Chains A and B, each alone.
Chain A
Amino acid sequence: MSGVRVLVGTRKGAFILTSDGTRERWDVSGPHFGGWEIYHLKGSPVDPNRLYASQSSSWFGQTMQRSNDGGKTWETVGNKFTYDGVPGTHQWYDGTPHPWEFKRVWHLEPSLTDPDTVYAGVEDAALFKTTDGGQTWTELSGLRGHGTGPKWTPGAGGMCLHTILIDPTNHARIYVAISAAGAFRSEDGGTTWKAITKGLYSKYLPDPTAEVGHCVHRIAMHPSRPQVLFMQKHWDVMRSDNAGDSWEKISGNLPTDFGFVIDVHAHEPETVYIVPIKSDSEHYPMEGKLQVFRSRKGGHEWEPLTKGLPQRDCYVNVLRDAMAVDSLDKCGVYFGTTGGQVYASANAGDSWAPIVSHLPAVVSVEVQTLK
């Protein structure tokens, strides 16, 4: 029988939630790595029991964990993330040059074909890769050496590479997004990169249409149509139909188009989900009502989804890596909040229920559909 495993990273440890295909009853295991910040954990698409986790702490720095049994047991793997060559500088908050300094791993993206190969997006922004199951990590320094690196600046959360998308039809094509540098595409497996920001407009930049400096919060793609990308930017929900060569705004009738997460229905490439947040100054839902918005038309026209979600006195945030979908029929949609709830919908968003309610602040949510 099919099942679902939800991997939840929080400020104080990792939790693994499992259910059968009905998605009605959930078992919770954890905390794993209690007391540590778990920015992300994710499983290999080719070996679902191979999991990787980013474990970090202000005291002890970055540690990496790997599991070969779906998260029952873990082993520590390599945590040496050294920038290639002389790291150089990026722009600090005050506009002065600031040396690149490794802080933590924000996002892990396992290869689509090899369980030992994983990409890691880190702060200060760079892309690393392992081909030996996490024992050693090598920077794909063509990204940081793109030429615009000295102009990249940190957002309030740090200068993080938080999104890595691999084109399932062409594994040499990789997309990444960085706060606050923008979005980039590689056509050669990560050796060279091109900024893909045409059409983005960020009024907080001296030049709102600059090539870099945009605070991209998240990019999502449907695997059947990898040239179509959906973006939640600092403000603005955007869409590209040409692999990021240009973007159009699809915020349409949204009450606010600030937010962090964005994801796509597993079976309907034009069905997109976001969680609007009031503003960049007030990181919580509008009027205390937690609402997911769904577009069935690839943007522009959005409907609020509220059934089962708190509609008063709710002032949580939903961070950029904290939404995911399963591929069961009907598609399951999941998101975690800074209030420690993980909400799930087993009917593509029509209704929601918390599957766990009192975790530490949720940083990331990933879902594995188990056969």
Chain B
Amino acid sequence: MHMVRVELPQHLRTLARVGPEISIDIPGQVTQRSIIDAIEASYPMLRGTIRDYATDRRRPFLRFYACEEDLSHELPDVPLPDAVASGAEPFLIVGALAGG
């Protein structure tokens, strides 16, 4: 079991009624998919907000960062860095900048 730290963008924190960072338990390999599966299981109100229901893909205005790397274009089942799996570094879900 891995305890993974995830930072959410402000609007998703408000929706889930949580602070800037949440901790989630991942039973198997730590990947983008397993993290989002665990987030959606623990916070059902976030279903469909990070990845699209129909395509299962990351929403285009969101990015996934960790360990100072942009992992957004990695395949969803690629293992994430050990530092994320160990909880040493958070997995960041970041909204694109916008004006207006």
Residues of A within 8 A of B (CB): 35-36, 57-63, 76, 79-83, 101-102
Interface of B is mostly: loop
Closest residue of A by beta carbon distance from B9: A59
Q: Are B53 and A60 in contact (CB under 8 A)?
A: no
| A82-B54, A101-B54, A102-B54 known; A61+B49 contact, CB < 8 A | yes
Residues of B within 8 A of A (CB): 9-12, 15, 44-45, 47-50, 52-54, 59, 61-62, 95-96, 98
Interface of A is mostly: loop
Q: Are A59 and B47 in contact (CB under 8 A)?
A: no
Out of A60, A76, A81, A82, name the residue touching B11 (CB < 8 Å).
A60
Q: Are A80 and B11 in contact (CB under 8 A)?
A: no
Q: Are A60 and B49 in contact (CB under 8 A)?
A: yes
Residues on A with C-beta less than 8 A from B10 are: 35
Residues on A with C-beta less than 8 A from B96 are: 59
Q: Are A79 and B48 in contact (CB under 8 A)?
A: yes
CA distance A63 to B59 in the complex (A): 14
Q: Are B15 and A80 in contact (CB under 8 A)?
A: no
| A80-B53, A82-B54, A101-B54 known; A59+B11 contact, CB < 8 A | yes
Q: Are B15 and A76 in contact (CB under 8 A)?
A: yes
Residues on A with C-beta less than 8 A from B45 are: 63, 76
Residues on B with C-beta less than 8 A from A62 are: 48
Residues on A with C-beta less than 8 A from B98 are: 58-59
Residues on A with C-beta less than 8 A from B47 are: 79-80
Q: Are B48 and A61 in contact (CB under 8 A)?
A: yes
Residues on B with C-beta less than 8 A from A83 are: 54
Q: Are B11 and A57 in contact (CB under 8 A)?
A: yes
Q: Are B11 and A61 in contact (CB under 8 A)?
A: no
Residues on A with C-beta less than 8 A from B50 are: 60
Q: Are A61 and B52 in contact (CB under 8 A)?
A: yes
Out of B44, B48, B54, B95, name the residue touching A59 (CB < 8 Å).
B95
Closest residue of A by beta carbon distance from B45: A76
Nearest CB of chain A from residue B11's CB, rounded to whole Å: 6
Q: Are A61 and B59 in contact (CB under 8 A)?
A: yes
Residues on A with C-beta less than 8 A from B49 are: 60-61, 63, 79
CA distance A253 to B50 in the complex (A): 51
Q: Are B15 and A63 in contact (CB under 8 A)?
A: yes
7 contacts between A and B (CB under 8 A): A59-B98, A60-B59, A60-B62, A60-B95, A76-B45, A80-B47, A83-B54
Residues on A with C-beta less than 8 A from B52 are: 61
CA distance A58 to B44 in the complex (A): 20
Q: Are B54 and A35 in contact (CB under 8 A)?
A: no
Closest residue of A by beta carbon distance from B53: A80
Residues on B with C-beta less than 8 A from A81 are: 53
Q: Are B62 and A80 in contact (CB under 8 A)?
A: no
Residues on A with C-beta less than 8 A from B53 are: 80-82, 102
Nearest CB of chain B from residue A162's CB, rounded to whole Å: 22
CA distance A80 to B47 in the complex (A): 8
Q: Are A59 and B15 in contact (CB under 8 A)?
A: no
| A80-B47, A80-B48 known; A60+B54 contact, CB < 8 A | no
Nearest CB of chain B from residue A102's CB, rounded to whole Å: 6
Closest residue of B by beta carbon distance from A99: B54
Residues on B with C-beta less than 8 A from A59 are: 9, 11, 59, 61-62, 95-96, 98
CA distance A102 to B48 in the complex (A): 12
Residues on A with C-beta less than 8 A from B9 are: 59
Nearest CB of chain A from residue B44's CB, rounded to whole Å: 8
Nearest CB of chain B from residue A148's CB, rounded to whole Å: 23
Nearest CB of chain A from residue B45's CB, rounded to whole Å: 4
CA distance A57 to B49 in the complex (A): 9
Nearest CB of chain A from residue B96's CB, rounded to whole Å: 7
